[in-house]
């Protein structure tokens, strides 16, 4: 028989073991609730700030909800999305707060900035988003967002660490909107557009001068929505990928070609159209919906401006669901290796000085998911899908239920490489060309050298915080 002392000792050992096991369960459960999938303890912040530009904040509510569902550790974190109505206000404010050593946790960056803000952001490590998966899932135009750094490991051997700079949710690419009643087929080459190329099928006689222009470019953004981007397309198609290369011959050719398109139709017709635009403060889009211009160039989002112009035109509108159509952007050559189209987009980046790095990485990881992109494109349908999985399904869809011949495929031909043009500072680039193309014509070389000087001066001020005594002039 067991004596009383032995029995008490046995009970004490048993209850001690139970107590240890119970404590282990509590601690384990606590770690499960407070750790991420890779074992890192989560310290959820009260607030995560996100700055966007040009998009309605309401469109991000579903994304925020999806993020908190995917990452429940942050269910009580307020994701505060601040919207700026235009890039002018946004860039100025962002550069100011970054210069002061402050910033939102996550902010968007224009693809055209050429990496100027790269020193201000934290790259996303490969254990958060695998670069191979990113490359496989996203359009090839985003490959530049993958970075590889050469380093040494603990033993002194060479090692390569990879990561992702930023996360895109969609992009835009150039295409042609045309009035089928005036232009039956958009030429493949720019040189085929003009009086000897596209002609009206409704002319009363072969020698009649049409009362519309086939196309009207060469003007600034007061008259042509997105004029600086259309000009950037001309630069790309002439082998110029950055404003820093404006000293090369191709840049002169590109600018001269763009300006020449202000006279690609009979001069009397162009003069009449320009006079009407100036007198009534109208744009080329306004003249397009009135049947005075056969083709206009732009991103898919130009459809919004067309719809606004239709309302403004009232009974003068000539476009219908049958006559408004889209086509691929013309090229400078029929050689496939010379083909290129302009792409532009905004990326989401994590600030290097953010105190909420873990939450920021988690939010960017969610943005890289197909679920987040689907929610984004549902709210902003005029963007093209950044991820390959949606490209094929989009090809035959219409941008609008009202205009079923306005197709996504006109802007996303997989056989035409997409490329970003580096403006340096988007606002300053756009402002310079808007100003200079509206002034008395100057020698091409002087215009381009002036752009380079102006942008470099502003870069020193706004990015490098140097040479502040130097005045940046539009010469």
What is the residue-wise DSSP string for 158-190?
Answer: EEEEEEES-EE-EEEE-EEEEETTT-SS--SBG
Rounded Cα gap, residues 106 and 245, in angstroms: 31
Side-chain half-sphere CA neighbours of 264 within 13 A: 25
Enclosing domain of residue 294: 172-343+395-464
Q: Same structural domain for residues 93 and 201?
A: no
Same domain, yes or no: 277 and 244: yes
CA separation for the pair 347, 145 (Å, rounded): 9
Residue 386, pLDDT score: 95
Compute the CA torsion angle 89, 95, 100, 102 (nearest 10 deg): 80
Predicted local distance difference test score (pLDDT) of residue 153: 67
d(Cα 383, Cα 265) in Å, to the nearest integer? 32
Pairing of strands 324-328, 175-179: antiparallel
SS3 at position 339? coil
Number of domains in the chain: 2
Q: What is the mean pLDDT of the chain?
A: 86
Percent helix, strand, coil in the chain, to 5, is 45, 20, 35
pLDDT in tens, 452-463: 999 999 999 888
Same domain membership, residue 181 and residue 327: yes
Asked if residue 425 and residue 388 are part of one domain, the reply reads no
Question: Does residue 293 register a pLDDT over 50?
Answer: yes
Are residues 60 and 136 located together in one domain of the fold?
yes
Please tell me the predicted confidence (pLDDT) of residue 1.
42
Q: Is residue 30 part of a domain?
A: no
pLDDT tens-digit series, residues 237-275: 999 999 999 999 999 999 999 988 877 677 778 888 999
pLDDT score at 199? 44
Residue where one domain finishes, among candidates 376, 392, 408: 392
Domain match, 139 and 180 both = no
52 is a domain residue: yes
| Residue 321 and residue 204 share a domain | yes
Q: Does 407 map to a domain?
A: yes
Residue 194, pLDDT above cutoff 90: no
Region of poorest pLDDT, from 57-61, 125-129, 337-341, 425-429: 57-61
- Judgement on whether residues 282 and 412 belong to the same structural domain of the protein: yes
Handedness of CA 157, 37, 138, 65 (dihedral sign): negative
**What torsion, rounded to 10 degrees, do the Cα atoms 184, 188, 193, 196 define?**
-80
For residue 11, tell me if it sits in a domain. Answer: no
Give the domain CATH number at 439. 3.40.190.10
Quick check: is 19 in a domain? no
- Judgement on whether residues 78 and 222 belong to the same structural domain of the protein: no
pLDDT (tens digit, 9 = 90+) per residue, 204-231? 444 566 788 999 998 889 999 999 999 9
Strand (E) or helix (H) holding 444: helix 444-459
Instruction: Report, as an integer, the average pLDDT of 133-155.
Output: 85
Compute the average pLDDT of residues 164-187.
95
Last residue of a domain, one of 367, 392, 417: 392
Residue 170 has pLDDT above 50, yes or no: yes
Query: What pLDDT does residue 465 have?
Result: 81
Give residue 36's pLDDT. 44
Q: Say if 349 falls within a structural domain.
A: yes
Q: What is the pLDDT of residues 391-448, one digit of tens each?
A: 988 998 999 999 999 999 999 999 999 999 999 999 999 999 998 887 656 789 999 9
Work out the pLDDT band at 301, boundaries 50, 70, 90: very high
Do 260 and 158 fall within a single domain?
no
**337 and 448 inside one domain:** yes
pLDDT range class, residue 41, cuts 50, 70, 90: low
Q: Residue 155: its pLDDT value, please?
A: 75
Is residue 8 domain-resident?
no
Measure the CA–CA gap between 472 and 475, rounded to whole angstroms: 9
Please give the share of the chain, as a percent, with pLDDT higher than 70. 85
Q: How high is the pLDDT of residue 151? A: 66
Distance CA 68, CA 62 (A): 10
Same domain? For 215 and 315 the reply is yes
**What is the reported pTM?**
0.86
pLDDT the model gives residue 207: 52
Q: Report which of residues 148 and 335 the model is more confident about.
A: 335
* Domain membership flag for residue 470: no
């Amino acid at each position: 028989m067991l004596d009383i002392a032995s029995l008490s000792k046995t009970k004490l050992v048993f209850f001690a073991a139970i107590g240890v096991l119970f404590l282990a369960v509590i601690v384990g459960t606590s770690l499960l609730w407070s750790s991420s999938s890779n074992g890192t303890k989560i310290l959820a912040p009260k607030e995560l700030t996100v700055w966007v530009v040009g998009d309605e904040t309401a469109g991000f509510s579903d994304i925020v909800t999806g993020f908190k569902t995917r990452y429940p550790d942050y269910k009580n974190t307020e994701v505060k999305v601040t919207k700026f109505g235009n890039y002018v206000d946004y860039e100025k404010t962002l550069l100011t707060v970054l210069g002061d050593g402050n910033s939102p946790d996550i902010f968007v960056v224009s693809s055209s900035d050429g990496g100027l803000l790269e020193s201000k952001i934290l790259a996303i490590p490969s254990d958060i988003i695998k670069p191979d998966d990113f490359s496989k899932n996203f359009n090839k135009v985003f490959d530049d967002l993958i970075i590889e750094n050469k380093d040494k490991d603990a033993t002194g051997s060479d090692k390569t660490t990879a990561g992702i700079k930023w996360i895109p949710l969609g992009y835009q690419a150039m295409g042609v909107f045309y009035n089928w009643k005036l232009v039956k087929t958009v030429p493949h080459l720019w040189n085929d557009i003009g009086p000897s190329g596209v002609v009206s099928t409704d002319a009363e006689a072969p020698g009649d001068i049409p009362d519309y222009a086939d196309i009207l470019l060469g003007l600034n953004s007061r008259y042509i929505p997105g004029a600086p981007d259309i000009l950037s397309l001309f630069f790309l198609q002439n082998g110029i990928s950055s404003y820093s290369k404006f000293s090369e011959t191709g840049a002169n050719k590109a600018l001269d070609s763009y300006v020449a398109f202000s006279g690609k139709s009979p001069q009397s017709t162009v003069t009449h159209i320009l006079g009407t635009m100036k007198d009534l403060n109208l744009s080329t889009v306004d003249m397009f919906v009135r049947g005075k211009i056969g083709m206009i160039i732009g991103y898919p989002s130009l459809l919004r401006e067309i719809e606004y112009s239709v309302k403004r035109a009232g009974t003068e509108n000539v476009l219908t669901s049958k006559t408004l159509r889209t086509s691929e952007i013309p090229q400078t050559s029929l050689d496939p290796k010379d083909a290129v189209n302009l792409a532009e987009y905004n990326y989401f980046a994590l600030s290097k000085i953010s105190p909420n790095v873990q939450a920021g990485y988690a939010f960017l990881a969610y943005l890289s998911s197909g679920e987040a992109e689907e929610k984004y494109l549902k709210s902003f349908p005029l963007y093209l899908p950044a991820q390959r999985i949606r490209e094929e399904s989009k090809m035959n869809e219409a941008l609008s239920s009202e205009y079923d011949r306005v197709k996504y495929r006109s802007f996303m031909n997989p056989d035409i490489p997409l490329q970003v043009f580096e403006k340096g500072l988007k606002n300053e680039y756009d402002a310079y060309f808007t100003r200079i193309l509206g002034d008395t014509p100057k020698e091409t070389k002087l215009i381009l050298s002036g752009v380079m000087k102006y942008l470099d001066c502003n870069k020193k001020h706004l990015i490098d915080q140097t040479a502040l005594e130097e005045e940046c002039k539009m010469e």
